[in-house]
Amino acid sequence: MITRFRRVLGLGVGAALLLVAPVALAHDGPGDHTQAPRDARSVTEAVLVGEGANTYQSVPNWCQIPEGRKNLGPTHGGVIVDKKGEIYFSMNSGDEGLLVYGADGKMIKGIGGKDLVGIHGICLNEENGEEFIYGAMNDKGKVVKLKLDGTVVWTIGVPMESGKYKAANQYHPTGVAVGPDGSVYVLDTYNQAIRRIKDSMVTTLVGGDGIIGLIDGPGTAARLGAQAGMTFARGQLFVSDVGSARIRAITPGDDASTTRVVTFAGSGRLALEDGSGDVASLAAPMALAAASDGTIWLADAGNKAIRRMAPAR
């Protein structure tokens, strides 16, 4: 299906999270975005970014630092929002794996404890009316499923049975997504592989031999670059292949032989060009998120922009 790419928001360096990070954006005019001072306390008024229907307003000093702390610490990882509107973001240091904030910018609680510090990719999935958090722990070589209070439902470590690892420290899952049937898909970025967890069994669907490339086809033959983000939408996995500056679409099968990989978008030119399919150009595509209408949002780090992939109407 033909999609359109559109740049909807330009970001200055370090401005990954307008509401959470102590970084704001100054807006001088259409398409002209400059970085405001890093000290959020110096930002005294809201600023606008984007254009048209995709105009957003920052909230100065939104993230309130809890008493007794100088700062939040590194928040490298991901952000999710539950049905109540509470915001969870993963921590890379400290005593809690995730911090939970209200829409008012006040911290509600920390969850997970030190054992869950270091979640890289994160997603939220609703199952029989209950929401669960899934996290890929890059440095600890495992994938976890949590309740919203931080209780661990299950942990799955290195899939040694795949025969792809000589040691457990070779497994570094960086991203996670959940399909409609409850299958959990894992980005094994440093091994150029995508694996599926279903009924506690781990199956390699794409790659796994550590060979970097740009090859479409069945999962047994397809090759990926350095994958940075993943989301599930329209019955497919969409993966940001930062190594080739493209978006790959994967239709999962029962195993690698019945899984199909295609290049969904990206010309390979490191540029900021909108358009459909291989006409559009990206630079360092990173995080992906899917909306309920099938729209996919992309953080194009190399272009310092947020891009939109919308289904053709």
> Mean pLDDT for each 10-residue chunk of the chain (313 residues)?
49 33 31 42 62 76 81 82 94 91 93 93 94 94 95 89 75 91 91 88 85 91 89 92 92 94 93 88 91 88 86 66
pLDDT computed for residue 16 by the predictor: 30
**132-137: long-range contacts, CB 8 A cutoff, minimum separation 24:** 133/80, 133/88, 133/98, 134/176, 134/178, 134/184, 135/90, 135/97, 135/176, 136/173, 136/174, 136/175, 136/176, 136/186, 136/187, 137/173
Cut 0.75: pTM above it: yes
Cα separation, 164 vs 24, in Å, equals 44
Q: Tell which phi-psi region holds residue 50, choosing left (phi > 0), alpha (psi between -120 and 50) or beta.
A: left
pLDDT computed for residue 209 by the predictor: 77
pLDDT computed for residue 61 by the predictor: 78
pLDDT computed for residue 100 by the predictor: 95
pLDDT computed for residue 52 by the predictor: 75
- From the number of C-beta atoms within 10 Å of its C-beta (0-12, 13-18, 19+), residue 137 rates as buried
pLDDT computed for residue 191 by the predictor: 85
pLDDT computed for residue 34 by the predictor: 41
pLDDT computed for residue 185 by the predictor: 95
pLDDT computed for residue 131 by the predictor: 97
pLDDT tens readout for residues 197-222: 988 788 899 987 778 889 999 998 99
Cα separation, 290 vs 212, in Å, equals 26
pLDDT computed for residue 184 by the predictor: 94
